[in-house]
Structure 1
Amino acid sequence: MRIAMWSGPRNLSTALMYAFAARGDCAVWDEPFYACYLRATGLAHPMAVEIMAADPRSPAEIAHDLRRVAPEGARITYQKHMCQHMIDGIPRDWMSDVVNVFLIRHPDRVLASFGAKYADVTLQDIGFVQQAEIFESVFQKNNAIAGNPAGISLISESEFQQAKNAPLVIDSADIRADPDGMMRALCKALGLDYRPEMLNWPAGPKPYDGVWAPVWYEAVHRSTGFAGAEGPLPELPAPLRAISDAALPYYDRLARYKLAP
């Protein structure tokens, strides 16, 4: 099985990658298109030069590799994808060969964390619009529903409930509130056996981390499992509040379909 997990930054995505790696039968891939994204956009991300140097492959080469057989000893491949990386020029045909899952998080929490690491944040940087677009595209393709040429269409709840191949949606808040229950529910929805090992991993860097880990993974490297339930939403300064308000409808749209424990 090939799993493509779609999220934006600061979404619990690295911890979830660690959980799948801890199964023992799963090979993981950390943000395959990041270097391509930086080369195409010229964005001055931290460690951009190092990231691009570490992976000189073209988008087409990476798309080819995303279809490859899992390494020996692994029956599952887990691909951690950032929705904002899927810009024009990044192939999407490979997405028909994977199980697509969407990891969401309230934009207030995303921006409080991302804004502390990256200045001049924009709505495009946090991937909410792109995540909704990818979700709609996958849903339409899986269920032979015509897309909306003007942009993102609205899937009705009845369409979603009746669909035979609806993509999965999980909320990071639900995982943190009940890691065991949510990992069990996710594994069941994926048709995988649940393994309690998914709830714990060793502290420190991992050999499968992207080269950007020293910038972004400090907190998760201190962890040995999912953090506890989150408290009240954080207060945001006015510029980030405006971005969160713009992102919230996209979060709410996917939250309607999220998996329950």
Structure 2
Amino acid sequence: MSTTMTSLKPNGEADQVRIILWTFPRTLSTALIKCLSQIDGVEIWFEPYCFCSMAAREYRRAHGRELPTSYAGNETKFTEAARLLSKVALMPAGVIDPERLAYEGVKERLESSTSKYVIVKDMALSMSDKKYRRYLPDGFTHAYLIREPAAAITSYRRATYQSFLSAGYLVGEARDENKFDIERDNFLMDAGLFHQELCELWRYSSQHSKASALPKEGSSERSKQSVIIESDDLLTKPHEVLPKFCRALGLPYDQSLLRWDASADVAFTWKAAGDEVLRHNVHFYKTAMSSTHFVPANKRTQVQNVFEDVRRLAEKARPYYEEMYNHKL
């Protein structure tokens, strides 16, 4: 399977630019796609495979069986998966569309898009199981957004703790933020695997893509390699990183992309696991949704000064982060 094939006009010119931006939580990816939503003719997809993955996990947790990857003939199972996922995600019943939780269907819908620019933002954890990688859509170039482990996991820990506490999921000593453990007390995503899952997917896509050097400066040619950017770079020098990112992927760039509207309304045009999913999930992305530009990060917290669970997971993640960092744009 070619992961960089593009749809071609009769004269051989590419008529579409299709990109999947793979990442993990708390990397500024939502702010980035809010920025890219300003591109004329762009279609944004918000974590379609991630919702499939979470639905499969909740179904497995509740029933001890695997959720099929095809919706046809399995409608009742997907209705149950949507109910379970809605409950854990604190969303009203009916917000999540059961039919959009099937890997096979996501692949088909992505490949059938006719928009000039298609950008999918998704989580690498949804492709950590090799059996799901056959549902990677043809015709897409893969890009990756990484973030320094201690910073990413600290942010995820904070957001998860606050969310779980308000939902009443935490009991006993876990209700104390100083004693909360992101591995022990979090059942949503395994933060200790974020960097590993992303790195392994990057390796996989690199092996299955046609080898090609990145375009030369000033060239209109798009990259056939996986493109990697780092969130700290994006925050501190967006005027350098964003145009390089766009050029490498075949996206149009203009300085006006560096500023955008504070309203979250644009997010409600993104395609997700339900038409109202993002409207009911704005709280988790509050900072990104209200952003207007990339703001330089505060001085990075030293690993030895963070919570013990963060330090432990950051050390585990660092080799994967450094491997990808060495290949960043």
Length-normalised TM-score, structure 1: 0.82
Change (3 A) 1:46 1:86: same
In the aligned structure 1, how far is the partner of 2:233 from the partner of 2:133? 31
1:204 is paired with a residue whose SS is coil
189-198 or 114-123, which deviates more: 114-123
Instruction: Please name the residue that 2:119 is paired with.
Output: 78
In the aligned structure 1, how far is the partner of 2:316 from the partner of 2:94? 31
2:190 to 124, 130, 146: 124
In the aligned structure 2, how far is the partner of 1:51 from the partner of 1:77? 29
CA contact (8 A) 2:111 2:138 kept: no
1:33 is paired with a residue whose SS is helix
CA contact (8 A) 2:233 2:241 kept: yes
In the aligned structure 2, how far is the partner of 1:33 from the partner of 1:99? 16
1:100 is paired with a residue whose SS is strand
Residue deviations 1:113-154 (CA, integer Å, cap 9, x gap) = 10012245348336211111110001111148xxxxxxxxxx
1:204 to 249, 255, 263: 263
2:26 to 7, 10, 24: 10
In the aligned structure 1, how far is the partner of 2:317 from the partner of 2:29? 18
Q: Which amino acid aligns with 1:107?
A: P
Instruction: Please name the residue that 2:316 is paired with.
Output: 246
Show structure 2 runs of 5+ residues with no match.
1-16, 62-84, 162-180, 184-188, 215-222
Give the deviation of 1:87 after TM superposition.
4.2
In the aligned structure 1, how far is the partner of 2:306 from the partner of 2:93? 30
Alignment of 1:162-181 (within 5 A): 165-181=224-240
In the aligned structure 2, how far is the partner of 1:15 from the partner of 1:76? 18
Residue 43 of structure 2 corresponds to residue 27 of structure 1:
yes
Instruction: Please name the residue that 1:148 is paired with.
Output: none
State the Cα RMSD in Å.
Answer: 2.7
In the aligned structure 2, how far is the partner of 1:34 from the partner of 1:227? 27
Residue 231 of structure 2 corresponds to residue 187 of structure 1:
no
Give the deviation of 1:229 after TM superposition.
4.0
Number of equivalences: 240
2:136 is paired with a residue whose SS is helix
Residue 135 of structure 2 corresponds to residue 68 of structure 1:
no
Instruction: Please name the residue that 1:41 is paired with.
Output: 57
Residue deviations 1:170-209 (CA, integer Å, cap 9, x gap) = 0011111111111111112123331223212211323135
86-95 or 220-229, which deviates more: 86-95
Change (3 A) 1:11 1:52: farther
31-40 or 119-128, which deviates more: 119-128
CA contact (8 A) 1:33 1:62 kept: yes
Length-normalised TM-score, structure 2: 0.66
Give the deviation of 1:93 after TM superposition.
4.3
Give the deviation of 1:215 after TM superposition.
3.1
Q: Which amino acid aligns with 2:37?
A: A
In the aligned structure 1, how far is the partner of 2:92 from the partner of 2:127? 20
Residue 134 of structure 2 corresponds to residue 92 of structure 1:
yes
Change (3 A) 1:160 1:190: closer
CA contact (8 A) 2:230 2:325 kept: yes
Change (3 A) 1:230 1:46: farther
CA contact (8 A) 1:64 1:94 kept: no
Instruction: Please name the residue that 1:222 is paired with.
Output: 290
Show structure 1 runs of 5+ residues with no match.
145-158
Instruction: Please name the residue that 2:200 is paired with.
Output: 133
2:159 is paired with a residue whose SS is coil
1:77 is paired with a residue whose SS is strand
1:90 is paired with a residue whose SS is helix
In the aligned structure 2, how far is the partner of 1:28 from the partner of 1:10? 19
